[in-house]
Amino acid sequence: MSYLLAINCGSSSIKGKLYHLPGSKDEPLKDAASLSVSNISSKGEKIKIKIQWQGEEGSDVEEEGEDGGEVECKLV
């Protein structure tokens, strides 16, 4: 199975979508997962990560968490 990953990077967050590629050009892309990483530029905050996997009907799974130490923003 083939996939397509689309990523949007901003100054304070990263968002992404993972799609299953269809078997033919006539079929639409099918969502596989969504990703959100926030608090990237929030001084003193932990980075927050959220992943939502799209499965068969009724089997979606969502994961959330904070990772790493507090964000340190320094002027260079």
pLDDT tens profile 26-64:
999 999 999 998 888 777 778 888 888 887 655 667 777
In a domain, 43, yes or no: yes
Structural domain harbouring 14:
3-69
Q: How far apart are CA 13 and CA 44, in angstroms?
A: 15
The answer to whether the beta carbons of residues 31 and 6 sit under 8 Å apart is no
**Would you say the pTM of this structure is higher than 0.95?**
no
The pLDDT value recorded for residue 60 is: 66
The pLDDT value recorded for residue 46 is: 80
In a domain, 50, yes or no: yes
The pLDDT value recorded for residue 16 is: 95
In a domain, 12, yes or no: yes
Write the DSSP symbol of residue 21. Answer: P
* Counted domains in the chain: 1
In a domain, 51, yes or no: yes
In a domain, 76, yes or no: no
Model confidence at 71: pLDDT above 70 = no
Which residues contact residue 71 at a Cβ distance below 8 angstroms, ignoring those fewer than 6 apart?
A: 39, 40, 41, 42, 43, 44, 45, 46, 47
